[in-house]
């Protein structure tokens, strides 16, 4: 086989918001796959494209960067891939530097850095049609001569807009050939040098002045929109309105497909009950496999709804503005400006919230957000809150306006928000310190019309990531929970529910001495064990423990039973516990996947467990002291 027929690795590299991913999607279409780079959580996109000359190209979309002097985890991956030093990855044979034609200043400095690496390179001027319509005059020949690399215009969102780029890849390959091995780069790229950066920027500015004539004033549309959306008061009102719409959509829009998925798995479970004999096999298939997978897939509509808004706002150019507006608020707690989207989505479910931390470039910022996102009040807590509040809190009006039950519910939500911000503040002072030389900096891109194809591909990829990365770990944990609640089987002459004879019950009884100071009995402890699979399972577990037939479907009857067995102090302590308690198995599985570390997963579990115990202890002891015991 001739060498030209071998797959050629070509890396796309460029500044954030340069349209690099849009170009990647235009070139590869559906012929792409998404995974993580070996040993890190940075996303890796690779696709296949065939050039007009028949060259098969494996195209790699690298994370955006402004310089090879990397600081964030994403930039380190890009630097090491460009230098051919990323473990487990072959070096690219050709670099395609993608630049926004309307904003070339920082892009040209990156081109000059990439030239020092010594690999063949092409500069692709993306959004060339937009630049021309706005009055930019770019002398392609002069720019190519000054830089010493081929320059080709491209329009990623237009059919045929990538034809010239593919043709130029063929030309570079035929004229120079593409290297097979590692190219040694000059300089130490891990240690930034301010003098070198300033010198590179001066040279980039000189080339820009020589080859590009810019319009007399900036884009008026972008300027007019920014005068509104970046206003310190009106901008926050607009942002809150958008977030409210997202918040409502994650619940409202996703509810119908979630109900459909749940009904489908309920029907599948019922079918299993008909075709399989009673026993362990039926319990494993229906309660372990079907229920386990159903509890995972039911979150998919929420995830797709959330990422639809994220991708839409990112494509439009608004997400950077939202992060800019929120940075001061989030920064006070040591969080990155982009953390507000993951924390918001965690009100629906911590799983999409944790996955949404990928919009945060900084590894520390991403990790801090992952560690506090489960403290936000997810929708799975609502059945537990509603059950206990309805049973123990009087439905009366206070202060003439407010429903007492509603105030308690609001207080639980507020407690979760305060805890998330407070723990982030603690983490940033005890676990790590935010580098004062690394302020929140971002470039505000021009507003652009979203591309439906990019949105569709992005949603497809996010769905696949969720199912592949979360499904396997979650499924394994669900099987473990099922086994604990099902083994050993109850004796034939048993009069108590089967769960009372299970390993879960034994665990609950073993936990009772530890949890008695917070007011919990062993029956509550039993409910906490299967509640690890999903929080709302605790309600059904309590109904089973107290041997009320159909209690999980009759909250009034279960509520009356709880008031007969619990004190008000116990009920309040359980509410406090659920504000802070470690997340369900599904969330822990996603934390493990996103951090690529059991250490941080166990740390999250441990600190939330400690917070839950402390909150429940203080609540219970205070309530008893006040006479509610």
pLDDT per residue over 513-559, tens digit each? 999 999 998 778 877 876 776 666 676 667 655 643 334 444 556 67
Q: How confident is the model at residue 441 (pLDDT cuts 50, 70, 90)?
A: low
Asked if 589 and 354 count as a contact pair (C-beta separation under 8 A), the reply is: no
- Say which residue, 427 or 468, is predicted with more confidence: 427
Q: Above 90 in pLDDT, residue 623? A: yes
Task: Tell me the mean pLDDT in the region 8-36.
Answer: 80
Strand-pairing partners, residue 121, are 95
pLDDT value at residue 437: 44
pLDDT value at residue 182: 47
- Say which residue, 534 or 364, is predicted with more confidence: 364
Tens digit of pLDDT for each residue in 395-421?
788 776 777 887 888 788 889 888 998
pLDDT value at residue 552: 41
Cis omega before residue 473 (within 30°)? no
Q: Above 90 in pLDDT, residue 143? A: yes
Whole-number Å distance between alpha carbons of 116 and 319: 33
Asked if 161 and 133 count as a contact pair (C-beta separation under 8 A), the reply is: no
Asked if 344 and 420 count as a contact pair (C-beta separation under 8 A), the reply is: no
Task: Tell me the mean pLDDT in the region 576-598.
Answer: 85
Residue 244 CB neighbours (<10 A): 11
Tens digit of pLDDT for each residue in 301-324?
877 887 788 788 888 888 778 777
Out of 169-178, 363-372, 437-446, give the one with best mean pLDDT. 363-372
Q: Above 90 in pLDDT, residue 144? A: yes
In this structure, of 81-95, 201-215, 335-349, 411-425, the range with the lowest mean pLDDT score is 335-349
- Average pLDDT of every residue of the chain: 79
Q: What are phi and psi of 338, to 5 degrees?
A: -80, -5
Three-class SS state of 90: coil
pLDDT value at residue 611: 95
Ranges of each domain in the chain? 3-216, 469-625
Q: Which residues contact 4 (CB under 8 A, 6 or more apart)?
A: 53, 54, 55, 173
The correct CATH number of 3-216 out of 1.20.140.160, 3.40.630.10, 3.20.20.70, 3.40.50.300 is 3.40.50.300
Helix, strand, coil % (nearest 5) of the chain?
Answer: 65, 10, 30
Tens digit of pLDDT for each residue in 453-507?
778 888 887 787 677 655 665 566 667 767 777 778 778 777 766 777 778 778 8
CA angle 461–463–465, rounded 5-degree value: 70
pLDDT value at residue 514: 92
Out of 267-276, 282-291, 292-301, give the one with best mean pLDDT. 267-276
pLDDT value at residue 351: 83
* Whole-number percent of the chain with pLDDT over 70: 80
Task: Tell me the mean pLDDT in the region 169-190.
Answer: 62
Calculate the alpha carbon distances from 406 to 165, 346, 401, 410, 546 in Å.
60, 21, 11, 6, 27
First to last CA, the chain: 82
Q: Which residues contact 32 (CB under 8 A, 6 or more apart)?
A: 24, 25, 45, 46, 47, 48, 457
Whole-number Å distance between alpha carbons of 85 and 69: 14
pLDDT value at residue 354: 87
pLDDT value at residue 481: 67
**Residue closest to 222 by CA, chosen among 66, 65, 100:** 100
pTM over 0.85: no
Q: How confident is the model at residue 28 (pLDDT cuts 50, 70, 90)?
A: confident
Q: Above 90 in pLDDT, residue 560? A: no
Calculate the alpha carbon distances from 422 to 316, 350, 483 in Å.
33, 18, 37
Q: Which residues contact 126 (CB under 8 A, 6 or more apart)?
A: 14, 18, 19, 20, 22, 23, 98, 99, 100, 101, 154, 155, 156
Task: Tell me the mean pLDDT in the region 126-151.
Answer: 89
């Amino acid at each position: 086989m001739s060498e030209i027929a071998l797959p050629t690795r070509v890396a796309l590299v460029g500044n954030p918001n340069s349209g690099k991913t849009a170009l990647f999607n235009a070139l590869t279409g559906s012929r792409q796959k998404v995974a993580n780079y070996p040993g890190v959580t940075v996303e890796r996109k690779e696709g296949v494209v065939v050039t007009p000359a028949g060259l098969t190209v494996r195209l790699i979309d690298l994370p955006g960067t402004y310089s090879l002097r990397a600081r964030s985890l994403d930039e380190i991956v890009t630097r090491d891939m460009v230098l051919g030093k990323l473990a487990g990855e072959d070096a690219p044979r050709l670099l395609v530097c993608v630049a926004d034609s309307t904003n070339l200043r920082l892009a040209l400095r990156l081109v000059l850095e990439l030239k020092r690496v010594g690999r063949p390179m092409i500069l692709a001027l993306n959004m060339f049609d937009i630049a021309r319509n706005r009055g930019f005059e770019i002398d392609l020949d002069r720019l190519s001569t000054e830089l010493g690399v081929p320059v080709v215009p491209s329009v990623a969102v237009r059919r045929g807009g990538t034809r010239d780029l593919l043709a130029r890849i063929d030309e570079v390959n035929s004229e120079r050939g593409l290297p097979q091995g590692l190219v040694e780069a000059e300089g130490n790229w891990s240690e930034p040098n301010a003098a070198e950066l300033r010198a590179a920027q001066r040279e980039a500015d000189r080339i820009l002045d020589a080859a590009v004539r810019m319009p007399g004033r900036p884009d008026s549309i972008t300027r007019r929109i920014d005068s509104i959306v970046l206003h310190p008061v009106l901008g926050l009102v607009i942002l809150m309105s958008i977030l409210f719409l997202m918040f409502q959509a994650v619940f409202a829009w996703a509810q119908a497909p979630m109900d459909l998925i749940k009904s489908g798995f309920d029907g599948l479970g019922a079918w299993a009950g008909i075709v399989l004999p009673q026993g362990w096999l039926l319990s494993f298939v229906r309660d372990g496999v079907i229920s386990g997978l159903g509890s995972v897939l039911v979150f998919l509509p929420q995830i797709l709804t959330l990422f639809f808004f994220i991708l839409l706002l990112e494509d439009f150019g608004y997400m950077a503005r939202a992060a800019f507006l929120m940075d001061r608020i989030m920064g006070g707690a040591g969080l990155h400006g982009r953390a507000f989207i993951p924390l918001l989505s965690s009100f629906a479910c911590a799983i999409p919230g944790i996955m949404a931390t990928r919009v945060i470039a900084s590894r520390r910022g991403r990790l801090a957000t992952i560690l506090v996102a489960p403290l936000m009040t997810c929708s799975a807590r609502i059945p537990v809150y509603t059950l206990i509040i309805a049973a123990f809190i009087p439905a009366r009006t206070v202060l003439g306006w407010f429903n007492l039950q509603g105030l308690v519910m609001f207080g639980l939500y507020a407690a979760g928000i305060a805890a998330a911000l407070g723990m982030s503040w603690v983490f940033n002072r005890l676990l790590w310190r935010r580098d004062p030389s690394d302020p929140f900096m971002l470039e505000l891109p021009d507003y652009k019309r979203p591309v439906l194809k990019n949105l569709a591909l992005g949603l497809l990829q996010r769905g696949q990531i969720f199912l592949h990365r979360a499904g396997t770990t979650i499924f394994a944990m669900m099987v473990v929970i099922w086994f604990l609640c099902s083994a050993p089987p109850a004796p034939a002459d048993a009069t108590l529910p089967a769960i009372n004879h299970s390993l879960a019950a034994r665990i609950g009884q073993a936990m009772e001495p530890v949890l008695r100071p917070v007011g919990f009995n062993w029956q509550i402890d039993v409910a906490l064990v299967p509640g690890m699979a999903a929080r709302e399972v605790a309600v059904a577990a309590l109904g089973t423990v107290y041997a009320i037939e159909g209690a999980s479907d009759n909250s009034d009857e279960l509520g009356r039973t709880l008031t007969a067995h619990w004190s008000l102090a116990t009920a309040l302590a359980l509410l406090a516990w659920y504000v802070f308690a470690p997340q369900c198995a599904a969330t822990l599985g996603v934390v493990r996947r996103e951090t690529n570390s059991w250490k941080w997963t166990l740390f999250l579990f441990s600190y939330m467990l400690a917070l839950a115990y402390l909150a429940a202890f203080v609540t219970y002891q205070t309530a008893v002291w006040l006479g509610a015991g």
